[in-house]
Amino acid sequence: MNKRRNKIAIVTGASRSKGIGTAICRSLANLGIDIFFTHWHAFDETEGNGGQRDWPEQLCEELERLGVRAAHMEADLTNPDMPSLMMDQVEKTLGHATILINNATYCAPSNFKSLDMRLLDQHYQVNNRGTILLSTAFARRFEQHQPQGTPGRIIFMVSKGPDPDNLAYIMTKGALIGLIEPLSVGLAPLHITVNGFDPGPTDSGWITEEMKEHFLPMFPMGRIGLPEDAARGISLLVSDDSQWITGQVIRSEGGFLGK
């Protein structure tokens, strides 16, 4: 795969050293792509898998040692103004982005007993409204600033499954899956490809030992997915070789036998 110099990627949701977002940042930086990443510690420290307050600066320095430019910001996707604020900050610090990886997500347990309007709205605001409006803001800036024929990429991290205790999360991720094909058609004239990426269960900090015992028999390759597995797949989708792949949901699950 050829390295792509002078490209700028936005990666949302890179708050933790073991997270998928961080692995994606590292993988794209190894391709020579400049990285702008976001994080939101207020969620990670209280409801997520444990944020690391000093991690963004550490990651920024690590990426710069790989020879690329890097910048970051706190980004609360429940803020309706955040898509525009984020795009402004990207352009101020690095320039005009050509790649958007929608990795940030909100996930809290919800079943038919606990699901209410507040919990549903919390998932919707981040996983749907914020993510979708960031994607359309990215596309409008791309159309305005990029020369005709410049390849662009939008990737949505998605999920699925019959888990009855994650109703809101799975539903909002399913809404993104429904968006991918029509958005890919709308952005094809701009040479922006739009794809979804489902990494399956990934050991990024949330899987307990009990969960590992449950999941492991469902992985015929004999191990649970790692953040680096997802990052390698994302690197393939942003490469020049993937220009003809659009409107797809890629299942990169190592043969996972679960639904």
The number of angstroms, rounded, from the C-alpha of 57 to the middle of its chain's C-alpha atoms is: 20
- Direct distance between the N- and C-terminal alpha carbons of the chain, in angstroms, rounded to an integer: 32
Q: State the virtual CA torsion across 111, 163, 23, 94 in degrees, nearest 10.
A: -50
Contact by Cβ (8 Å): 131, 86: no
Distances, alpha carbon 71 to alpha carbons 14, 61, 104, 143, 248, in Å: 12, 9, 16, 23, 30
Active-site residue, 106 included: no
Beta-bridge mates of residue 22: none
Residue 26, sorted as left (phi over 0), alpha (psi -120 to 50) or beta, turns out to be alpha
- Catalytically annotated residue among 169, 197, 215, 219: 169
Which residues form the catalytic set?
169
